């Protein structure tokens, strides 16, 4: 498991961009962390790393799933307001087969793929984050 320290939102985005380069179609990334930890900033970096427009990235809390076109399509889901049953109805595995899927609040997804990559972002202080990447997310 790789661990990085971010000292700013720009650092978090840069870490996300470098991480995205290692991914291929079908990858599922489960993003853990409290509100305000930087999960969306990390996804913004992933979008930049995949040559999608990072300015388009925002928290998909109300749209549930956003799509960012780049050299590989990045799908961004926020499950915060959903029940596990509603999550299953989204068909996230179907979406992930078409690109890369980044999921915020993945604990609401009761059956993520066993090979999903878990990224955990912990708040150290107002600016500093510990970002751990590479653990597996499935049951």
**Residue-range domains of the chain with CATH:** 2-116 (3.40.50.300)
pLDDT tens series, the chain, 139 aa: 688 999 999 999 999 999 998 999 999 999 999 988 999 999 999 999 999 877 677 765 566 788 888 899 999 998 988 888 888 888 888 888 889 999 999 999 988 999 999 999 999 999 999 999 976 655 4
- Classify burial at 124, counting beta carbons within 10 Å of its beta carbon; exposed 0-12, middle 13-18, buried 19 or more: exposed
H helix count then E strand count, the chain: 4, 7
| DSSP secondary structure code for residue 108 in this structure | G
């Amino acid at each position: 498991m790789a661990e990085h320290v971010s000292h700013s939102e720009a650092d978090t985005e840069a870490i996300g961009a470098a991480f995205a380069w290692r991914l291929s179609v079908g990858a599922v990334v489960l993003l853990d962390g409290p509100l305000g930890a930087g999960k969306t900033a990390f996804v913004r970096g992933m979008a930049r790393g995949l040559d999608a427009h990072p300015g388009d990235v925002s928290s998909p809390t109300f749209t549930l799933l956003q799509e960012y076109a780049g050299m590989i399509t990045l799908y961004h889901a926020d499950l915060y307001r959903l029940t596990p049953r509603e999550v299953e109805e989204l068909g996230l595995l179907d979406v992930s087969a078409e690109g890369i899927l980044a999921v915020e609040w993945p604990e609401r997804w009761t059956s993520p793929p066993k090979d999903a990559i878990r990224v955990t972002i912990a708040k150290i202080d107002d600016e500093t984050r510990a970002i751990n990447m590479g653990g597996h997310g499935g049951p």
